[in-house]
């Protein structure tokens, strides 16, 4: 491998890797927050007394 190829490989993989990891983490956090909101809403609905049951 020559100098230029090594340089491009090193820089490309470092930046692509870091960018991928950052985007993956942000997406994962957003997905988990959405899931948590859904679960919390379900739990609240189950806890709340129903007006139709008398």
Partner 1 sequence: MKAGFEAKARQVSLAAVLVGFPVLLYLTWFVAPDWSYQPDVTAPLTRKILFFHPPSAWASFIAYAVVFVLGIAYLNERDLRHDRAARAAAEVGFMMNSIALATGTLWGIQEWAKAGQNALATVYSEPKVLVVVVLWLTFAAYLLLRRFVDGPERQARLAAVFGVLGFIAVPASFLTSRLLTTSLHPDIAGPGSNPDAAVSGDVGMILLVGFLVFLALFVHLWLQRLRILRLEDETAVLEAQETDTP
Instruction: Give the footprint of partner 1 on this chain (CB under 8 A).
Output: 1, 3-4, 6-7, 9-11, 13-15, 17-18, 21-22, 25-26, 28-29, 32-33, 35-36, 39-40, 42-43, 46
| Minimum separation from the CB atom of position 24 to partner 1 (A) | 10
Which residues neighbour 1 within 8 Å (Cβ) at sequence distance 6 or greater?
9
Q: Cα(21)–Cα(41) distance, rounded to whole angstroms?
A: 30
Q: Which is nearer to partner 1, 45 or 52 (CB)?
A: 45
Q: How far apart are the first and last CA of the chain?
A: 79
């Amino acid at each position: 491998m020559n100098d230029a190829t090594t340089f491009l490989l090193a820089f490309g993989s470092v930046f692509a890797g870091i960018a991928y990891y950052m985007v993956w983490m942000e997406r994962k956090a957003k997905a988990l927050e959405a899931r948590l909101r859904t679960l919390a809403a379900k739990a609240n609905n189950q806890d709340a007394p129903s007006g139709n049951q008398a």
